[in-house]
Amino acid sequence: MAKIDFGGVVETVVTRKEYPLKRAQKVLKNEVIAIIGYGVQGPAQSLNMRDNGINVIIGQDKRFANDWKRAVKDGFKPGVSLFDIEEACDKATIVMMLVNDAAIKQVWPRVAPFMTAGKALYFSHGFGFVYNKLTGVKPSEDVDVILVAPKGSGTSVRRNFLAGVGINSSFAVAQDATGKALDRTKAIGIGVGSGYLFPTTFEHEVTSDLVGERGVLMGALAGIMEAQYEVLRTNGHSPSEAFNETVEELTQSLIRLVDENGMDWMYSNCSATAQRGALDWKPKFKKATLPVFKDLYKAVKTQAEAKHVIKVCGTDDYKQKLDAELKVMRDSEMWTAGAAVRALRPHEKAKAGAEKATGVKGRGAN
């Protein structure tokens, strides 16, 4: 593994150079990997591994017809590489639990009888294993328990793979019953197309993930956008102007500069007026939001967030309620304006054509 200096802190990471795909293929040569759940992460990880020459089968509940049909469309054949959950688990040597967090409690009893000695139980999120008092996931000690968590949605995992690059992933081993759990983990991490792998623990992964999704990555970002848009509109700015200054310039220009060389480099490539304003107002935003992030971290650590997720997302009518919530967002003036702005981008038709050709469309994060 390579030692990398991250801002004065040296971390040990796994790169493709020292753990090439050929090595991963050799480690997984005699494994049968069953992906349970063809929803968000399932399609991306399974297709990437299949394209990398790794033996993958799918375990999917037929009652979720859309996911079953999608697996068939993606080339998994019923009775050959696509099975119900129990049959896939029976055939597998590595079971990848990629169902959503709220469904784990219902799915685990169907998986548990097939987790026999020497097999591996894989997660892409620490939720089910760490919060086992809530989910019931308690594998026996003769089973490897491993994790590879791509730092992006399934859509991004697949898109980046097809583009020849990778999404960075964290990895962890909670139980090493066979003596080969770490190698299994690294091999799958490379197999699913990770850019590089950095070590974590199940506990740290689930905590950072829940904080990140509720914070900067999704919740805070959406909330701040709505606040700025509302202020601009209230003060007489047009929807187009408010959206462009709030969202479009961020996603189409500035965040790409941050991606290339960091925030300071983005600042240095903006006007002096923008630089000064950003530097002066940044501390104010940090002061305003730091208490919220502290409350958020506490809610995650005390498992209050996990309990809420299981309670709310586990109801029979959750999908209908979710669709209603998302419809409110989609139909709001801000995101209606956003749809109009996106349609005016010169490259939008080309992008739509690429999505049609690859079959990759936007889906939610894990």
CATH number at residue 173: 3.40.50.720
If asked whether residues 158 and 230 sit together in one domain, one would say no
If asked whether residues 124 and 269 sit together in one domain, one would say no
Contact between 78 and 72 under an 8 Å Cβ cutoff? The reply is: yes
Distance CA 293, CA 295 (A): 5
If asked whether residues 35 and 129 sit together in one domain, one would say yes
Does residue 229 lie in a domain region? yes
Does residue 364 lie in a domain region? no
Structure tokens at 188: 């799958």
SS3 94: strand
Distances (CA, A) of 91 to 34, 56, 86, 113, 124: 8, 11, 9, 12, 21
Among residues 125, 204, 237, 347, the one annotated as catalytic is 125
Does residue 197 lie in a domain region? yes
If asked whether residues 221 and 303 sit together in one domain, one would say yes
Sheet-wide strand order for 144-150? 2-6, 9-15, 194-199, 167-175, 144-150, 120-123, 94-97, 33-36, 56-59, 82-83
Other C-beta atoms closer than 10 Å to the C-beta of 253 total 12
If asked whether residues 137 and 217 sit together in one domain, one would say no
| Predicted pLDDT of residue 5 | 83
Contact between 100 and 124 under an 8 Å Cβ cutoff? The reply is: no
| Predicted pLDDT of residue 356 | 52
Which residue spans within 157-281 are E strands per DSSP?
A: 167-175, 194-199
If asked whether residues 253 and 343 sit together in one domain, one would say yes
Domain boundary among 201, 232, 261: 201
Q: pLDDT of 90-140, one tens digit each?
A: 999 999 999 988 889 999 999 999 999 999 999 999 999 999 999 999 999
Distances (CA, A) of 62 to 70, 122, 153, 209, 218: 11, 22, 24, 30, 31
| Predicted pLDDT of residue 224 | 97
pLDDT in tens, the chain (366 residues): 788 888 888 888 999 998 999 999 999 999 999 999 998 899 999 999 999 999 999 999 988 899 999 999 999 999 999 999 999 999 999 999 999 888 899 999 999 999 999 999 999 999 999 999 999 999 999 999 999 999 988 999 999 999 988 899 999 999 999 999 999 999 999 999 998 999 999 999 999 999 999 999 999 999 999 999 999 999 999 999 999 999 999 999 999 999 999 999 999 999 999 999 999 999 999 999 999 999 999 999 999 999 999 999 888 899 899 999 999 999 999 999 999 999 998 866 555 555 554 454 433 333
Instruction: For residue 125, indicate whether it is catalytic.
Output: yes
Structure tokens at 343: 């349609």
Structure tokens at 277: 């304003």
Residues present in the chain in total: 366
If asked whether residues 60 and 141 sit together in one domain, one would say yes
Does residue 319 lie in a domain region? yes
If asked whether residues 312 and 268 sit together in one domain, one would say yes
The total domain count for the chain is 2
Burial 134-155 (b: 16+ CB within 10 A, else e): bbebebeeebbbbbbbbbbbbb
Q: Could you give the angle at the alpha carbon of 218 between the alpha carbons of 217 and 219, nearest 5°?
A: 120
Domain boundary among 176, 201, 226: 201
SS3 15: strand
Does residue 207 lie in a domain region? no
Does residue 273 lie in a domain region? yes
Does residue 206 lie in a domain region? no
Distance CA 251, CA 244 (A): 10
Distance CA 69, CA 16 (A): 33
| Predicted pLDDT of residue 9 | 86
Tell which residue, 299, 306, 275, 289, has the closest CA to residue 220: 289
Amino acid at 19: Y
Structure tokens at 296: 């958020």
If asked whether residues 313 and 349 sit together in one domain, one would say yes
| Predicted pLDDT of residue 360 | 46
Distance CA 126, CA 114 (A): 21
If asked whether residues 106 and 221 sit together in one domain, one would say no
Does residue 363 lie in a domain region? no
The most distant pair of C-alpha atoms in the chain lies apart, rounded to whole Å, by 67
Q: Residue for token digits 């990778």?
A: 166
If asked whether residues 66 and 161 sit together in one domain, one would say yes
Range of the domain at 318: 213-358
Distance CA 165, CA 279 (A): 33
Q: Residue for token digits 């793979």?
A: 161
If asked whether residues 242 and 197 sit together in one domain, one would say no
Domain boundary among 201, 233, 264: 201
Q: Please list the alpha-helical segments (H only) found in 74-114.
A: 85-91, 104-111
